[in-house]
Amino acid sequence: MKKQILNNSEYIIKKAKVVRTKKLTDLEKFFEISMPNNESLDHDPGQFVEVSLFGVGEAPISIASSPTMRNSFDLCVRRVGKVTSEMHKLEQGDEIGIRGPFGKGFPIRILEGNDLFFIAGGLGIVPLRSLINYVIDNRRDFGNVNILLGCKTPDSMLFGDEVEIWQKRLDVNFNCTVDKADPDWAGNVGLITSLIPGVNLDPDRTFAIVVGPPIMYKFVIKELIAKKIPERQIYLSLERHMKCGLGRCGHCQIEDIYCCQDGPVFCYDQIKKIRGAI
């Protein structure tokens, strides 16, 4: 067997550094990452990177920070398996591999000038944080902003301090709910879908942006359509098993689309007929 070095292989990783970490909950940990020479990652909100740790593997992780943050970017990782567990051991100064960014993010040019309605369930807040912070950083380019947040319990809520800031802003309408409250919780209890009817919006100029666990979509979309938001104004991000991020390994395929390249952000209009998408 002969061997040749490939300098342009798509599998080559870039060596990145962990700048800062923070434990968010028992399961989730936050990372700030910088690329070599503090190069900008140049991503769109909604895109993801493949995080690599040699000897363990790779995992696709959404970029949690706004592209307006130039010298570094954020990740938020839930510990579920090999790579994610190993990532949780990382501390400031450690090296990790990054490939990407991959995929299609949220269509900022289309969203500009319109009202936005963000709906995030659980870990869905991670990719949405990127867009929300972008919108807040460029607040004048967008119309009304509504944010609905749902999580299992109050202590599983991510980015609590930031959420508090969004909550306090006058130019953002914020509401959140938990499936199960604890004694300190004063807010809503119940499914996120129960909050949608109460939101005040102009369906014609509102774009809904939904990210959450797979089972959430069906119910949320039903409510949005009940609010007369046109299907082509609903965007969502799908999670699928992924290995290569290059549209080849087949794991993320839904009918003839590859979630890693054609997505993960899709317009509802585009995928509603696709079997197995929602």
Ligand X SMILES: Cc1cc2nc3c(=O)[nH]c(=O)nc-3n(C[C@H](O)[C@H](O)[C@H](O)COP(=O)(O)OP(=O)(O)OC[C@H]3O[C@@H](n4cnc5c(N)ncnc54)[C@H](O)[C@@H]3O)c2cc1C
Name the site residues for another protein (rule: CB under 8 A): 1-13, 15, 52-58, 78, 80-82, 84-86, 89, 95-97, 213-215, 239-241, 243-244, 246-251, 253-256, 275-276
Closer CB to another protein, 205 or 248, in the complex: 248
CB of 276 to ligand X, least distance (A): 15
Give whichever of 89 and 228 is closer to another protein, judged by the CB atom.
Answer: 89
Q: Least distance from C-beta 24 to another protein, angstroms?
A: 17
Closer residue to another protein in complex, CB, 7/37 = 7
Closer residue to ligand X, CB minimum distance, 31 or 166 = 31
CB of 96 to another protein, least distance (A): 7
Give the HSE-up count for residue 216: Cα atoms under 13 Å, Cβ half-sphere.
25
Q: What is the DSSP string of 151-207?
A: ESSGGG-SSHHHHHHHHH-TT-EEEEEESS--TT--SEES-GGGGGGG----GGGEE
Residues near ligand X (CB under 6 A): 48, 57, 59-62, 76-78, 80-84, 123, 126, 239-242, 264
Are 156 and 166 spatial neighbours (Cβ–Cβ below 8 Å)? Answer: no
Hey, what amino acid is at 272?
K
Give the number of other Cβ atoms within 10 Å of residue 271's Cβ: 20
Distance CA 243, CA 254 (A): 15
* CB of residue 59 to ligand X, shortest distance in Å: 3
Q: Indicate which of another protein, ligand X, none lies near residue 138 (CB less than 5 to 8 Å, by partner kind).
A: none
For the packed helices 160-168 and 125-137, what is the interaxial angle rounded to 10 degrees? Answer: 40
Q: Which does 62 bind (CB under 5 to 8 A by kind): another protein, ligand X, none?
A: ligand X
Secondary structure (DSSP) of 67-132: TT--S-EEEEEE--SHHHHHHHT--TT-EEEEEEEESB---HHHHTTSEEEEEEEGGGHHHHHHHH
Nearer to ligand X, 81 or 190 (CB): 81
From the list ligand X, another protein, none, which binds 168 (C-beta under 5 to 8 Å, kind-based)? none
Is residue 138 within 8 Å of residue 145, measured between CB atoms? Answer: no
60 binds, among another protein, ligand X, none (CB under 5 to 8 A by kind): ligand X
Residue 131 Cβ, how far from another protein at the closest point, in Å?
A: 21
Q: How far is the CB of 70 from another protein (least distance, A)?
A: 23
Closest to ligand X by CB, 89 or 169: 89
Quick one: 201 or 221, whose CB is closer to another protein? 221
- CA dihedral for 263, 98, 210, 241, sign (positive or negative): positive
